[in-house]
Amino acid sequence: MHQKKNKIIIGVGAATFFFGFGAPAGLSLYLLAIHSPLVLQFRSSLFYVSSILGDGIILPIVNMLVASHLLKNQELIGRLAVIASLFLGFLVTAYFHLVQAAQGLVNWSMPKAWQWNFLGIWHALYMFAVASLICLFYIVLILNFKKQKKLHKEAVLVTVGIIVFLILLKLDYLSVKLV
């Protein structure tokens, strides 16, 4: 059973890396190689520190910690917790994409404000999955705290990871010119 849990945890990290950074970075390299206007005119994932460090390293580690904690506390994951986490994940995803569009933060996934391409949809689905998983973690963390009256170390590690990722994201967009 322990080996199965380790495979799940590693799988979560690998999936986070692949969908958040690996596939987009590979596509970015390919589009750069063929001199695609999409990456010549707009920033791609390889031009964001939050993508390279955040999606490539921080979020896979964070999600592995999240998966580990959720597997240890499976009894607290009920239907209501899952529905709430999906709803909150949707709200987080919608917020970031709507703010991106409203502020005209164009890039290779949204070359024109309010017009997302396949990459934008890919990113939205990835972000929804990650945000929902993290929201489920916090819901389980709260339920666990109510039950045990103690805060687990994963709470601090995951929260610090998310804060560092958000700081990198903010730094990436400080120098962006709005449309």
- Per-residue model confidence as pLDDT tens digits over 2-37: 899 999 999 999 999 999 999 999 999 999 999 999
Q: Which of 26, 32, 45, 152 is nearest to 108 (CA)?
A: 45
Model-level pTM? 0.92
Residue linked to tokens 């080996």: 3
The number of domains in the chain is 1
Q: How confident is the model at residue 138 (pLDDT cuts 50, 70, 90)?
A: very high
Measured CA to CA, the distance from residue 149 to residue 134 in angstroms comes to 21
Is the residue at 49 inside a domain? yes
Domain region containing 150: 2-174
Q: How confident is the model at residue 156 (pLDDT cuts 50, 70, 90)?
A: very high
Mean pLDDT taken over the chain:
94
Is the distance from CB of 118 to CB of 31 less than 8 angstroms?
no
Q: Which of 42, 178, 131, 96 is nearest to 139 (CA)?
A: 131
Is the distance from CB of 59 to CB of 16 less than 8 angstroms?
yes
